[in-house]
Amino acid sequence: MKRINLLGISGSLRTESTNTIILRAVESLLPENTSFQIFQGLDEIPHFIPGVEDPHGVVKFKTALRQADGIMICTPEYAFGVPGTLKNALDWTVATGEFNEKPVSAISASPLHTGGDKALASLLLTLTALGTVRNENSALSIPDSKHKVEIGSLTDKLTISLLQKQLDNLLDLVGRH
Ligand SMILES: Cc1cc2nc3c(=O)[nH]c(=O)nc-3n(C[C@H](O)[C@H](O)[C@H](O)COP(=O)(O)O)c2cc1C
């Protein structure tokens, strides 16, 4: 059976980020022959300038993307949008196509009841522009995130089951591709 490599990308650089904690919960939901690594280094990616040679941090990001069979992004919403750090990283890949035809699951998590839905909608538009593979089950917004995380772990059972569905759907898309 072929080994499947999944990559997680958190849109938050905070040490105690709820979005990163949600991604970490995926590690305990994985089936056999599947690995899941959370990308470290979004903060090493400089501002995007079209036409310049990829700086080291961008090479590292693109290598991780190319090695992944599927990608799960979990992001907060800042000022009704995608955090600049994450959008900047995605912009570096527009011309080189690392996300093109790549199965992606898109998740937003927010302490508000809206679940970061505006950031999620914006992220989905960008992921469409990048040519990612998704279906109607490839997106999830998680409201009231602070109440679903305790001492660094995702504890809310409903959210864990929704995360499992995201993972299963992502793996299904990877399998079909
Ligand atoms: C500058 C800033 C802007 C924010 N804007 C929004 C917003 O528009 N919508 C929202 O739901 N939460 C907003 N928040 C709250 C974040 O959702 C909250 O800080 C969240 O926990 C961040 O995710 P993290 O725990 O993964 O770092 C904002 C937070 C900051 C610091």
Query: Where do the domains of the chain lie, and which CATH numbers do they carry?
Result: 4-176 (3.40.50.360)
The three-class DSSP label of residue 86 is helix
Question: Position of tokens 């089936």?
Answer: 31
CA dist 119 and 126 (Å) reads 11
Among protein residues, the one whose CA lies closest to atom 9 of ligand 1: 77
User: Which residues are paired to 70 by β-bridges?
Assistant: 6
Ligand 1 centroid distance, CA of 45 (Å): 21
Judge if the beta carbon of residue 14 lies within 6 A of ligand 1: yes
On whether the CB atoms of residues 177 and 171 are closer than 8 A, the answer is: no
In which residue are the tokens 């650089």 written?
A: 13
Note the pLDDT tens digit of each residue in 24-69: 999 999 999 999 999 999 999 999 999 999 999 999 999 999 999 9
Q: Is 19 in the pocket of ligand 1 (CB under 6 A)?
A: yes
> What is the predicted pLDDT for the residue at 114?
98
Q: Helix or strand or coil: residue 18? A: helix
- CA of 81 from ligand 1 middle (Å) equals 10
pLDDT at 24: 98
Rg (CA), the chain: 15
pTM score, two decimals? 0.98
Residue nearest to atom 10 of ligand 1 (CA): 77
How far is Cα 117 from Cα 113, in angstroms, rounded to an integer? 9
* Residue 116 three-state SS: coil
The pLDDT of 78-98, averaged and rounded, is 98
pLDDT tens column, 101-160: 999 999 999 999 999 999 999 999 999 999 999 999 999 999 999 999 999 999 999 999
